[in-house]
Chains A and B, each alone.
Chain A
Amino acid sequence: MRSESARMSSASEALFRIGSPNSRPRAVKVIALDAGSEPVVADLAERHWNGAAFFTAADLTSDPARLREEISAADLVVMVATAGESPHEVALIGECCSRTRVTTTGLVMCDEKTSDEVLSVTLGRLRPWMLMLVVASSSDYIEDMLLALRA
């Protein structure tokens, strides 16, 4: 006789998994930290999302009340930077996320020509504020990541 584990992990039993949604849309805030990342984030903002909102760092840091409001309503804050840049705003945004216990992810865009030294500058700036840092060689990764996270 087959064990429960054997029977329940079969393909035929998979058909009986409950099909109703198992999550509600989450609030993801995507923030371009520098001039290089702004067009990438602006381009993403044009697409259809499940509630993701897109900003430039200047949008938020120039208005502390708005920054607090947006961050406190977020489930996840994704900050996008370009390798070689050293965006100062990350500290303000990161601190706000830290105070409100909002998870942060940093994405650094680079290409094959980016040297480790250049990359280090940006990583060093972002690292204190990120729970997850990703270095991606193509900007289409950001879209894939947001889709994977149901943003």
Chain B
Amino acid sequence: MLKKEQNDLLTHTGPGAPMGQLFRRSWLPALLAEELPEAECAPVRVKLLSERLLAWRDTEGRYALTDEFCAHRGVSLWFGRNEEHGLRCSYHGWKYDHTGQCVEVPSEPAESGFCGKIKLASYPLVERGGVLWAYMGPPELQPPLPEWEFATVPSDRRFVSKRLQESNWMQALEGAIDSSHVSFLHRGELNTDPLFKGSKGNRYNLDDARPVFEVVESPGGLYIGARRNAEHGNYYWRVTQWVMPSFTMIPPRGDHPVHGHFFIPIDDEQCWTWSFDYKVMRPLAEQELESLRAGKGIHVACVPGTFRPRANKDNDYLMDRAAQKRGETFSGVHGFGMQDASVQESMGPIVDRTKENLVSTDNGIIMARHRLLRSVKAMLDKDVTPPGIDPVHQRCRSASVVLPPDQPFKDAAKAALVVQDDHEHVTV
């Protein structure tokens, strides 16, 4: 349970909102690089942290992320012409460069210097790992470029997708931190999804439906360890990483690619769920890529030409009661991603956390909220840099490992929880 003011603080991320300020201190995944494939390509509307923006590339291929609307009369520059080192408003021809600086106002004499007085808000946008990252915070506090491992491996070793989620970002994040729902909501998929099935770890998962949890603070957020019984009195540990504010990495299964998410607020009632899969030492196999593109694993199939899932609230998530009855899916919704999204969207755009009844196994969620609230306060009151911004915090890994009963995962799996160059994830 949270007080209303705490819930508001965590869920409101628009300009000026404290949680919005915390998000603005990080590089945020804004677009897939393929959305802006070449110089002078079509601009793309982007809404992030409740700000309407336009992403585009100028004649030299430089990335731009600027206010969507022309400073003159408020026309959307999405209708603009991308030409000769700038974006020209199609209404009266005002032209802007990639920094948002107005460089031409045709109705005014060039000598007047009027256009020099007009500048749209703009934010740095950089490509890394097939993703375009935006930094929307104070320029003097711009951090080093993101160091998430999936974004640093060769391009044939990763797959990244994004989908629209029609709920507040915290509902999506809390689902990713809450490991205990897997044995229910996703139980049908563990043995059938091509990107999950066949690992030895699945057997431990299914044989022991009552995991024991350990939640430990990490430099960037939390380690969430789920412990299940293994052979000879040993424990099977699955250690999820949460790095503030909204990165999670799911523990690996066998030789399958490792995956995780970012949850990025579009506004207070929608977010982008970013999903990545990668291997460190080998290219993804064609079969794996086929499955990933088809929306298997944690990815989803989208309406062609959009990032809206094909199964969405307007078609009742393609609810399949017969499959639910047969036990193929627990909820009747197919696929990990939409199983999560459907239940989280059903809570409403912003769930009222004053009414919830948390239990002991929700300590991961409780601790994540606690850390977020504490970090916002420290940032605002004492200028403390929030966790997760330091690239060292980003060079982390999830792990699945079998350990003797007397060894805490944080010690025994210490090396497994950070990036080890030239080594795959530690996995069972």
Contacts and interface: CB of A to CB of B under 8 A. Distances in A.
B35 interface: no
Max chain B CB contacts within 10 Å: which of A4, A103, A117, A136? A136
Summarize B's interface: helix, strand, loop or mixed: mixed
Contact of B313 (A6, A140, A145, A149): A6
B82 to A, nearest CB: 35
B348 A13 contact: yes
A135 B349 contact: no
A17 B352 contact: yes
A104 to B, nearest CB: 8
Contact of B216 (A11, A23, A135, A150): A135
Contact of A147 (B1, B269, B360, B411): B1
B217 A135 contact: yes
B209 interface: no
Contact of A134 (B313, B352, B363): B363
A3 B316 contact: yes
Interface residues of B, number: 44
A22 interface: yes
Interface string A1-35: 01111101111011001000011000000000000
Contacts of B212: 130-133
B8 interface: no
Given A10-B349, A124-B408, A22 B357 contact: yes
Interface in A92-107: 103-105
Given A2-B314, A132-B213, A144 B370 contact: yes
A124 B357 contact: no
B360 A149 contact: yes
B360 A76 contact: yes
Contact of B366 (A3, A22, A120, A145): A145
Contacts of B217: 135-137
A118 to B, nearest CB: 11
A133 B213 contact: yes
B26 to A, nearest CB: 22
Interface residues of A, number: 42
A9 B317 CA distance: 13
Contacts of A133: 212-215
B303 interface: no
Max chain B CB contacts within 10 Å: which of A17, A23, A116, A133? A133
A124 B406 contact: yes
Contacts of A123: 214, 408
A127 B167 CA distance: 37
B2 interface: yes
Nearest to B2: A148
Contacts of A23: 357
B346 interface: yes
A132 B313 contact: no
Interface in B304-323: 313-317
B424 to A, nearest CB: 24
Contact of A131 (B166, B215, B360): B360
A54 B247 CA distance: 37
B318 to A, nearest CB: 11
B358 interface: yes
Interface in B355-408: 355, 357-363, 366-367, 369-370, 374, 405-408
B410 interface: yes
A130 to B, nearest CB: 7
B345 interface: yes
B349 A11 contact: yes
A1 B358 CA distance: 36
Contacts of B366: 144-145, 148-149
Interface in B148-167: 166-167
A42 interface: no
Contacts of B363: 105, 132, 134, 145
A141 B367 contact: yes
B358 A4 contact: no
Contacts of A3: 313-316
A141 B215 CA distance: 12
Interface of A: 2-6, 8-11, 13-14, 17, 22-23, 76, 103-105, 116-117, 119-120, 123-124, 127, 130-138, 140-141, 144-145, 147-150
15 contacts: A6-B314, A9-B348, A10-B348, A14-B348, A14-B352, A103-B360, A105-B363, A120-B407, A133-B215, A134-B367, A135-B214, A136-B367, A138-B374, A149-B360, A150-B1
Given A116-B410, A132-B215, 19 more contacts: A5-B342, A9-B167, A9-B345, A10-B349, A11-B348, A11-B349, A13-B348, A119-B410, A120-B407, A124-B406, A130-B212, A131-B212, A133-B213, A136-B367, A144-B370, A145-B363, A148-B2, A149-B359, A149-B366
Interface of B: 1-2, 166-167, 212-217, 269, 313-317, 342, 345-350, 352, 355, 357-363, 366-367, 369-370, 374, 405-408, 410-411, 414
